[in-house]
Amino acid sequence: MPSWSTPAPPAEQRRRYTPPVDPLDRATLALERALGPSVVDTDPTRCEPFARDESEAEGVTPRCVVHARTSDDVSVILRHCEENRVPVFPRAAGTGRSGGATAVVPGVVLDLRALSQVKELDRENLLAVVEPGVVTGTFHALVEAEGLFYPPDPQSAETCTLGGNAAENAGGPRAFKYGVTREYVLGLEAVTMGGERLRAGRRTAKGVTGYDVTGLLVGSEGTLAVFTELTLRLVPQPPLVCTLQALFATVDDAGRAVTALVGRRLVPRCLELLDTLCCQLLREAEPSLLPPGDCCMLLLELDGEHPEALERDASRLADACLHAGARSVHLARDEAERARLWAVRKRMSRALRARAASKLSEDVVGPRTRVPELLSRARAISERHRVVMPAYGHAGDGNLHVNFLWDDPADKPRVERAIEALFRATLDLGGTLSGEHGIGVLKAPFLPWEQSPALIAMQQRLKSVFDPSGCLNPGKIFPRPGHLGC
């Protein structure tokens, strides 16, 4: 069994499997012949950046990068890769945070950015048909110009793609009210290893015909099939939005506010938290962004149809925050003010990156009510392992981005122990390892911490149904024997 092959192909296939002399050369040649050299790039310098994504996961320079132009190209590529049993790594913008697009072994990278057409926008039935390479932010602008709304809004919306979002089942701040990508993919066309096209799902609001293959493929991190078309559900765009910033002395106060406002049946579309260390680092980076003095921040956003209703909910939100001990609540009604408040949240990631040579961001999820406990455990871990660990994220969903900052590469082992301690704490509290980044390469070794051997084996058998030889995006999700992670 080739070391990159995961999951282990069934025994009879291993027996059938005879490694070709140089499968990669054979595949590359076949692809050049089939698609032309302009589509198949073998230049090592140009291929090198396709080794990794925006995570810390290590990759190797692929033998070639194939820039697919059409779903036929995708079919041809997956046929030749399967015939030659070479690993293929599908990717679009490569903005993933868990190494899902990383080329972990020499192979073929399948670049889907050129499949970037919005094929259809059906205003009356509230749906769109898109290719996987459409940039999410571009799509937001397009549908909003029509009075429609596509809620999933990952932090990287300006650069990431709808295909990548579907592969990782991306979320974002608005998930608290609107749910994640999975709730918006009605149907899709995907190509499986070997090049077979598969149409699954529907164009209608409801449908229960057969198994939910669409839902299975969404969030499968490019390990089951490659999306070539997505049918997305849209909703009417809420005309009114207002944003609140609440500052608290402690994260426990902020946590109490979150529980209290949910208890009051308030459902802001966003409910973001920045812990004390985040606010401190932000203030150091840009003093104008925050008032002096230690604080922890909740950023809340409401949307709706009715001005009075929005006003009342806004004051109920403010009230819930003040009762929970907020020092100040700032309500932004106009766009400029809203932008200023969001700037704080949006600069977070960059501000942290600027603080240290290395930064890793985990996206653990705890039960909403246990967010303060999860944060205090994170603080204890930070002290015990002497790692700087600012945390922020989607408090309404209990989804925290706990960051790990370090400068000296020699500190990496300590960081890894801290990450493991965070994962243990998350699972102790009844949480899950990933809310929106996926498992990819970085969390694969920890999958058994959350899931039973029976469930993992079941998922590997599901993978084999789509990809018997294990050539599609190998090394992702499932821990490899003897593999201890990045």
Taking CB under 8 A as the criterion, which residues in 32-51 touch its own copies? none
The answer to whether the beta carbons of residues 158 and 95 sit under 8 Å apart is no
Query: Between residues 70 and 125, which has the closer beta carbon with respect to its own copies?
Result: 125
CA angle in degrees (0–180, nearest 5) for 384-390-391:
110
Decide: is 189 part of the binding site for its own copies (CB under 8 A): no
What's the min distance (Å) between Cβ of 441 and its own copies?
14
The answer to whether the beta carbons of residues 310 and 304 sit under 8 Å apart is yes
- Cis (ω within 30 of 0) for the bond into 7? yes
In whole angstroms, what is the distance from residue 480 CA to residue 486 CA? Answer: 12
What's the min distance (Å) between Cβ of 205 and its own copies?
4
What's the min distance (Å) between Cβ of 137 and its own copies?
21
Taking CB under 8 A as the criterion, which residues in 445-474 touch its own copies? 447, 450-452, 454-456, 458-459, 461-463, 465-466
Q: Which of 398, 470, 474, 479 binds its own copies (CB under 8 A)?
A: 398
- Phi/psi region, residue 126 (left: phi>0; alpha: psi -120 to 50; beta: rest), is left
Per DSSP, 480 falls in state P
Taking CB under 8 A as the criterion, which residues in 201-240 touch its own copies? 202-213, 215-216, 218-220, 224, 235-237, 239
DSSP string, 137-188: HHHHHHHHTTTEE-----TTTTT-BHHHHHHHT---TTHHHH--GGGGEEEE
Rounded to the nearest 10 degrees, the angle between the axes of helix 251-263 and helix 371-385 is: 160
Count of alpha carbons within 13 angstroms of residue 72, beta-carbon side: 3
How many CB atoms sit inside 10 A of residue 123's CB?
Answer: 13
In whole angstroms, what is the distance from residue 157 CA to residue 302 CA? Answer: 20
Decide: is 480 part of the binding site for its own copies (CB under 8 A): no
Decide: is 425 part of the binding site for its own copies (CB under 8 A): no
What's the min distance (Å) between Cβ of 72 and its own copies?
16
Q: Which of 146, 367, 407, 428 binds its own copies (CB under 8 A)?
A: 367
Rounded to the nearest 10 degrees, the angle between the axes of helix 251-263 and helix 307-323 is: 140
Decide: is 273 part of the binding site for its own copies (CB under 8 A): no
Taking CB under 8 A as the criterion, which residues in 49-78 touch its own copies? none
Contacts with its own copies, 113-132, as mask; x by CB under 8 A = ---------xxxxx------
- Phi/psi region, residue 155 (left: phi>0; alpha: psi -120 to 50; beta: rest), is alpha
What's the min distance (Å) between Cβ of 221 and its own copies?
9
Taking CB under 8 A as the criterion, which residues in 144-163 touch its own copies? 147
Sole window of 47-55, 75-83, 87-95, 166-174 interacting with its own copies (rule: CB under 8 A):
166-174
Question: Does an H or E element contain 376, and which?
Answer: helix 371-385
Decide: is 252 part of the binding site for its own copies (CB under 8 A): no
Q: Which of 435, 445, 475, 479 binds its own copies (CB under 8 A)?
A: 435
In whole angstroms, what is the distance from residue 353 CA to residue 334 CA? Answer: 30
Decide: is 486 part of the binding site for its own copies (CB under 8 A): no
Decide: is 141 part of the binding site for its own copies (CB under 8 A): no
The answer to whether the beta carbons of residues 98 and 473 sit under 8 Å apart is no
Query: Between residues 192 and 243, which has the closer beta carbon with respect to its own copies?
Result: 192
Decide: is 168 part of the binding site for its own copies (CB under 8 A): yes
Taking CB under 8 A as the criterion, which residues in 8-37 touch its own copies? 12
Query: Between residues 177 and 417, which has the closer beta carbon with respect to its own copies?
Result: 177
Sole window of 108-116, 350-358, 360-368, 384-392 interacting with its own copies (rule: CB under 8 A):
360-368
Decide: is 106 part of the binding site for its own copies (CB under 8 A): no
Taking CB under 8 A as the criterion, which residues in 294-323 touch its own copies? 304-306, 308-309, 312-313
Q: CA torsion, points 329, 335, 338, 340, in degrees to nearest 10?
A: -110
Decide: is 361 part of the binding site for its own copies (CB under 8 A): no
